[in-house]
């Protein structure tokens, strides 16, 4: 016999379901009047330092259909690479945003500042990126991924370096479509399948 480990086990996830908006974005569900406003409406406040950017995209299921009921949460550093709560972080950057795919088109939009590079424990740097968490009907445990930017130097990023199939790296890189405009599409399955993360 050995001593018993006293760690607990994480509570199992369950799908957020088709009505996730009731709890997380009530106004999107047509539910008004309980809270003054939805949580996490804005990643940034007016006056945030850095380049304000807009990222649009869709999330496609395995049949190529743009999902209409997904909910996203993003979390990121400010323009100088500091997260809310860290010393010196830009007080105008919340870092957190919650948004949904459009009911009719399936397209989402995120307006934020382009994040700066962030440090690693090993003393290196991660290329600028936004962490993205996706829940929806049919997704049993929230999917983690990241948005990188095609106009940044991603060559030394430790996470991108771990992707064995180099042709999959581009699934995490948002394409620049105009001044301050990016496109980031997510594919749940198939030849263009987005890299999803476990970290």
Q: In the range 100-159, which residues lie near another protein by CB under 8 A?
A: 103, 118-121, 123, 126, 129, 131, 133, 135-144, 146, 158-159
H-run or E-run covering 24: helix 20-24
Place of tokens 């990126």: 129
Q: Does 45 bind another protein (CB under 8 A)?
A: no
Q: What is the Cα–Cα distance from 165 to 186, expressed in whole angstroms? A: 17
Q: Which of residues 156-175 bind another protein (CB under 8 A)?
A: 158-159, 162-163, 168
| In the complex, least distance from residue 178 CB atom to another protein, rounded to whole angstroms | 26
Question: Which two three-digit tokens encode residue 199?
Answer: 């970290």
CB 24 within 8 A of CB 34: no
Interface with another protein (CB under 8 A), residue from 44, 55, 66, 77: 77
Interface with another protein (CB under 8 A), residue from 26, 111, 170, 192: 26
| C-beta closer to another protein: residue 6 or 179 | 6
Number of shown-chain residues binding another protein (CB under 8 A): 85
Place of tokens 């309980």: 34
| C-beta closer to another protein: residue 8 or 179 | 8
Question: Which two three-digit tokens encode residue 110?
Answer: 């995120």
CB 44 within 8 A of CB 92: yes
Question: Which two three-digit tokens encode residue 38?
Answer: 């939805």
Choices 46-54, 65-73, 147-155, 174-182; region in contact with another protein by CB under 8 A: 65-73
């Amino acid at each position: 016999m050995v001593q018993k480990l006293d760690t607990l086990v994480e509570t199992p996830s369950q799908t957020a379901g088709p009505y996730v908006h009731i709890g997380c974005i009530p106004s999107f569900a047509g539910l008004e009047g309980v809270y003054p406003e939805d949580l996490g409406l804005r990643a940034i406040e007016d006056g945030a330092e850095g380049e304000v950017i807009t990222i649009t995209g869709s999330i496609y299921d395995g049949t190529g259909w743009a999902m209409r009921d997904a909910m996203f949460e993003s979390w990121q550093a400010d323009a100088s690479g500091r997260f809310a709560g860290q010393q010196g972080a830009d007080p105008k950057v919340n870092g957190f945003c919650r948004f949904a795919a459009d009911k009719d088109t399936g397209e989402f939009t995120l307006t934020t500042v382009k994040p700066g590079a962030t440090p690693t424990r090993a003393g290196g740097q991660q290329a600028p990126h936004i962490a993205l968490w996706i829940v929806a009907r049919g997704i049993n445990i929230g999917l983690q991924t990241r948005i990188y930017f095609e106009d940044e130097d991603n060559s030394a990023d430790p996470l991108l370096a771990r992707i064995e199939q180099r042709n999959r790296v581009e699934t995490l890189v948002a394409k620049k479509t105009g001044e301050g405009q990016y496109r980031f599409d997510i594919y749940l399955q198939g030849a263009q399948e987005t890299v999803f993360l476990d970290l």
